Amino acid sequence: MPETASSALTPWSNFYVMTGSSAGALTGLMFVVITLVTGVERARRTRDGISTFSTPTVAHFGGALLVSAVLSAPWRSLGYPAALLGLAGVCAVVYVVRVWFLTKRFTGYRPDLEDWVWYTILPLIAYTAIVVGAIVLLAIPVPALFAVAAGVMLLIFIGIRNAWDIVTFLAIEGPPNPE
């Protein structure tokens, strides 16, 4: 007997309420970080740092919020959330690849291995887990929902770490002296 959306998603409702609320709150806090970054970027007369580091962090929180909202909705079938998660996940993978290229050409700062891992590789893994979970959601819902949950949690931890990285970088580096 195929599992209904309600019976598959109900046990996850608290998890997605918690992760969605956390992602929403952390997105709001990121606006403070972006305000700090904006001052530095204006002094440098470039927006590459925002596109490479800050915007993706907000996008990851937004991705976690979107997945949480989709899986908290009262679906009658798992087909709709699977399609939405798959589409959103593929778009996010394309976005991370774009960020990868922006990072490669960024001249204001030379990213180290840690930056590559946290700003491109781990987000790619998180979104791939969401896509894979979406693909297999209809066939094997329980493992698929665990894969999606792992992707969401990874996105939240990536966002927390990257927001901290941006804030500490700005606190130590400070705005550059205008030339």
Q: What is the pLDDT at residue 131?
A: 98
Q: What is the pLDDT at residue 1?
A: 42
pLDDT in tens, the chain (179 residues): 456 777 888 888 888 888 888 888 887 777 776 676 565 545 554 555 555 677 888 899 899 989 999 999 888 899 999 999 999 999 999 999 998 888 888 777 788 899 899 999 999 999 999 999 999 999 999 999 999 999 999 999 998 898 888 777 777 765 555 55
Taking the CB of residue 19, how many other CB atoms lie within 10 A of it? 22
Q: What is the pTM of this model?
A: 0.82
- The alpha carbon dihedral of 132, 138, 140, 144 has a sign of positive
Round to whole Å and give the CA distance between 103 and 116.
8
Round to whole Å and give the CA distance between 9 and 47.
41
Q: What is the pLDDT at residue 110?
A: 80
